[in-house]
Structure 1
Amino acid sequence: MNQALIVVLIFIFLFIAALAYYTKATGGLFLARMPWKASDYEPTEENKTERQVGLAFSAFAFKLCAVALPLLLFFYDSVVTKILGGLLVIGIVIYRFQTKAS
Protein backbone atom coordinates (compact mmCIF):
# COMPACT_ATOMS: atom_id res chain seq x y z
CA MET A 1 0.00 0.00 0.00
CA ASN A 2 1.12 3.52 -0.69
CA GLN A 3 2.54 5.13 2.47
CA ALA A 4 0.89 8.50 1.82
CA LEU A 5 -2.50 6.80 1.54
CA ILE A 6 -1.92 5.02 4.84
CA VAL A 7 -1.10 8.32 6.57
CA VAL A 8 -4.25 9.93 5.15
CA LEU A 9 -6.37 6.98 6.29
CA ILE A 10 -4.83 7.12 9.78
CA PHE A 11 -5.79 10.80 10.09
CA ILE A 12 -9.30 10.11 8.76
CA PHE A 13 -9.84 7.36 11.34
CA LEU A 14 -8.42 9.58 14.09
CA PHE A 15 -10.90 12.29 13.08
CA ILE A 16 -13.75 9.75 13.16
CA ALA A 17 -12.62 8.59 16.62
CA ALA A 18 -12.50 12.20 17.87
CA LEU A 19 -15.96 12.89 16.46
CA ALA A 20 -17.29 9.70 18.10
CA TYR A 21 -15.72 10.68 21.44
CA TYR A 22 -17.29 14.13 21.32
CA THR A 23 -20.65 12.68 20.28
CA LYS A 24 -20.56 10.26 23.19
CA ALA A 25 -19.52 13.03 25.60
CA THR A 26 -22.52 15.12 24.58
CA GLY A 27 -24.89 12.19 24.95
CA GLY A 28 -25.32 11.58 21.24
CA LEU A 29 -26.36 15.07 20.12
CA PHE A 30 -23.18 16.54 18.66
CA LEU A 31 -24.43 16.79 15.08
CA ALA A 32 -27.90 17.98 16.11
CA ARG A 33 -26.86 20.88 18.36
CA MET A 34 -24.16 23.51 18.41
CA PRO A 35 -21.31 22.65 20.82
CA TRP A 36 -21.53 25.92 22.74
CA LYS A 37 -25.24 25.44 23.61
CA ALA A 38 -24.79 23.11 26.56
CA SER A 39 -28.40 23.50 27.70
CA ASP A 40 -29.61 21.70 24.56
CA TYR A 41 -27.75 18.54 25.61
CA GLU A 42 -30.18 17.73 28.39
CA PRO A 43 -32.23 14.59 27.77
CA THR A 44 -35.80 15.18 26.68
CA GLU A 45 -38.38 13.03 24.98
CA GLU A 46 -38.05 15.15 21.81
CA ASN A 47 -34.41 14.25 21.20
CA LYS A 48 -34.56 10.59 22.26
CA THR A 49 -34.17 9.27 18.69
CA GLU A 50 -31.35 11.69 17.96
CA ARG A 51 -29.54 10.47 21.07
CA GLN A 52 -29.98 6.83 20.10
CA VAL A 53 -28.61 7.47 16.62
CA GLY A 54 -25.69 9.50 17.97
CA LEU A 55 -24.76 6.86 20.54
CA ALA A 56 -25.09 4.10 17.92
CA PHE A 57 -22.75 6.06 15.63
CA SER A 58 -20.33 6.51 18.50
CA ALA A 59 -20.30 2.80 19.36
CA PHE A 60 -19.85 1.82 15.69
CA ALA A 61 -17.06 4.35 15.15
CA PHE A 62 -15.16 3.16 18.23
CA LYS A 63 -15.35 -0.45 17.05
CA LEU A 64 -14.32 0.51 13.51
CA CYS A 65 -11.35 2.58 14.69
CA ALA A 66 -10.30 -0.13 17.15
CA VAL A 67 -9.80 -2.44 14.17
CA ALA A 68 -8.67 -0.03 11.46
CA LEU A 69 -6.05 2.03 13.31
CA PRO A 70 -3.88 -0.88 14.48
CA LEU A 71 -4.03 -2.45 11.02
CA LEU A 72 -2.99 0.79 9.35
CA LEU A 73 -0.16 1.24 11.85
CA PHE A 74 1.04 -2.30 11.09
CA PHE A 75 1.00 -1.60 7.34
CA TYR A 76 3.10 1.53 7.69
CA ASP A 77 6.85 0.97 7.10
CA SER A 78 8.25 2.43 10.32
CA VAL A 79 9.19 0.14 13.20
CA VAL A 80 7.88 2.69 15.69
CA THR A 81 4.39 2.58 14.17
CA LYS A 82 4.41 -1.23 14.30
CA ILE A 83 5.24 -1.03 18.01
CA LEU A 84 2.51 1.60 18.49
CA GLY A 85 0.05 -0.65 16.68
CA GLY A 86 0.97 -3.55 18.95
CA LEU A 87 0.57 -1.41 22.07
CA LEU A 88 -2.77 -0.16 20.79
CA VAL A 89 -4.00 -3.73 20.28
CA ILE A 90 -2.82 -4.72 23.77
CA GLY A 91 -4.54 -1.67 25.27
CA ILE A 92 -7.81 -2.44 23.47
CA VAL A 93 -7.75 -6.07 24.63
CA ILE A 94 -7.07 -5.06 28.24
CA TYR A 95 -9.85 -2.46 28.12
CA ARG A 96 -12.33 -4.99 26.71
CA PHE A 97 -11.50 -7.56 29.41
CA GLN A 98 -11.78 -4.98 32.19
CA THR A 99 -15.16 -3.71 30.98
CA LYS A 100 -16.54 -7.25 30.66
CA ALA A 101 -15.29 -8.17 34.15
CA SER A 102 -17.02 -5.24 35.85
Structure 2
Amino acid sequence: MYLGTLGSAILCIVTIVGIPLMFIVILISLVALIMGITSISYRIGGFLQEKWIPNDWVRLIIGATLIVAFTNIRSTLAVYNDIIAWYVYRVFVFVPQEKKKEA
Protein backbone atom coordinates (compact mmCIF):
# COMPACT_ATOMS: atom_id res chain seq x y z
CA MET A 1 0.00 0.00 0.00
CA TYR A 2 1.35 3.39 -0.99
CA LEU A 3 1.17 5.77 1.99
CA GLY A 4 1.72 8.93 -0.06
CA THR A 5 -1.85 8.87 -1.34
CA LEU A 6 -3.20 8.13 2.13
CA GLY A 7 -1.19 11.01 3.60
CA SER A 8 -2.52 13.36 0.92
CA ALA A 9 -6.07 12.23 1.62
CA ILE A 10 -5.67 12.78 5.36
CA LEU A 11 -4.12 16.19 4.79
CA CYS A 12 -6.97 17.12 2.44
CA ILE A 13 -9.60 15.99 4.95
CA VAL A 14 -7.91 17.87 7.79
CA THR A 15 -7.63 20.99 5.65
CA ILE A 16 -11.17 20.90 4.31
CA VAL A 17 -12.76 20.08 7.67
CA GLY A 18 -10.24 21.63 10.06
CA ILE A 19 -10.00 25.18 8.71
CA PRO A 20 -13.76 25.91 8.83
CA LEU A 21 -13.92 24.23 12.24
CA MET A 22 -11.07 26.45 13.42
CA PHE A 23 -12.92 29.55 12.19
CA ILE A 24 -16.07 28.45 14.04
CA VAL A 25 -14.13 27.94 17.29
CA ILE A 26 -12.42 31.34 16.91
CA LEU A 27 -15.78 33.00 16.22
CA ILE A 28 -17.39 31.41 19.29
CA SER A 29 -14.42 32.45 21.43
CA LEU A 30 -14.63 36.00 20.09
CA VAL A 31 -18.35 36.20 20.87
CA ALA A 32 -17.69 34.97 24.42
CA LEU A 33 -14.89 37.51 24.83
CA ILE A 34 -17.09 40.37 23.61
CA MET A 35 -19.93 39.34 25.93
CA GLY A 36 -17.56 39.11 28.89
CA ILE A 37 -15.95 42.49 28.25
CA THR A 38 -19.41 44.03 27.80
CA SER A 39 -20.65 42.68 31.13
CA ILE A 40 -17.48 43.80 32.93
CA SER A 41 -17.76 47.26 31.34
CA TYR A 42 -21.40 47.50 32.39
CA ARG A 43 -20.55 46.56 35.96
CA ILE A 44 -17.61 48.99 36.18
CA GLY A 45 -19.72 51.75 34.64
CA GLY A 46 -22.36 51.02 37.29
CA PHE A 47 -19.94 51.95 40.06
CA LEU A 48 -20.54 55.58 39.14
CA GLN A 49 -23.94 56.36 40.63
CA GLU A 50 -24.44 59.73 39.02
CA LYS A 51 -27.65 61.39 37.91
CA TRP A 52 -26.19 62.49 34.58
CA ILE A 53 -25.79 58.94 33.16
CA PRO A 54 -28.72 58.87 30.72
CA ASN A 55 -28.84 55.23 29.63
CA ASP A 56 -27.07 51.86 29.59
CA TRP A 57 -24.95 52.65 26.51
CA VAL A 58 -23.24 55.50 28.30
CA ARG A 59 -22.70 53.21 31.28
CA LEU A 60 -21.00 50.67 28.97
CA ILE A 61 -18.83 53.33 27.34
CA ILE A 62 -17.71 54.69 30.72
CA GLY A 63 -16.81 51.19 31.92
CA ALA A 64 -14.91 50.36 28.73
CA THR A 65 -13.04 53.67 28.92
CA LEU A 66 -11.99 52.95 32.50
CA ILE A 67 -10.79 49.45 31.54
CA VAL A 68 -8.69 50.84 28.68
CA ALA A 69 -7.28 53.60 30.89
CA PHE A 70 -6.17 51.17 33.61
CA THR A 71 -4.71 48.81 31.00
CA ASN A 72 -2.65 51.62 29.48
CA ILE A 73 -1.38 52.68 32.91
CA ARG A 74 -0.35 49.10 33.64
CA SER A 75 1.44 48.80 30.29
CA THR A 76 3.30 52.06 30.85
CA LEU A 77 4.39 50.94 34.32
CA ALA A 78 5.61 47.64 32.86
CA VAL A 79 7.83 49.54 30.40
CA TYR A 80 9.24 51.68 33.20
CA ASN A 81 9.81 48.54 35.27
CA ASP A 82 11.83 47.01 32.43
CA ILE A 83 13.95 50.15 32.07
CA ILE A 84 14.65 50.26 35.81
CA ALA A 85 15.54 46.56 35.83
CA TRP A 86 17.98 47.12 32.95
CA TYR A 87 19.68 49.97 34.81
CA VAL A 88 19.93 47.90 38.00
CA TYR A 89 21.47 45.03 36.05
CA ARG A 90 23.87 47.42 34.36
CA VAL A 91 25.04 49.02 37.62
CA PHE A 92 25.24 45.97 39.86
CA VAL A 93 26.24 43.18 37.46
CA PHE A 94 27.84 44.54 34.31
CA VAL A 95 29.93 47.38 35.77
CA PRO A 96 31.59 45.25 38.52
CA GLN A 97 32.57 42.68 35.87
CA GLU A 98 34.25 45.41 33.81
CA LYS A 99 36.18 46.56 36.89
CA LYS A 100 37.39 42.99 37.47
CA LYS A 101 38.74 42.82 33.91
CA GLU A 102 40.68 46.05 34.36
CA ALA A 103 42.38 44.89 37.58
TM category (shorter chain) comes to: 0.3 to 0.5
Largest Rg, 1 or 2: 2
Structure with more of its chain in helix, by fraction? 2
TM-score by length of 2: 0.32
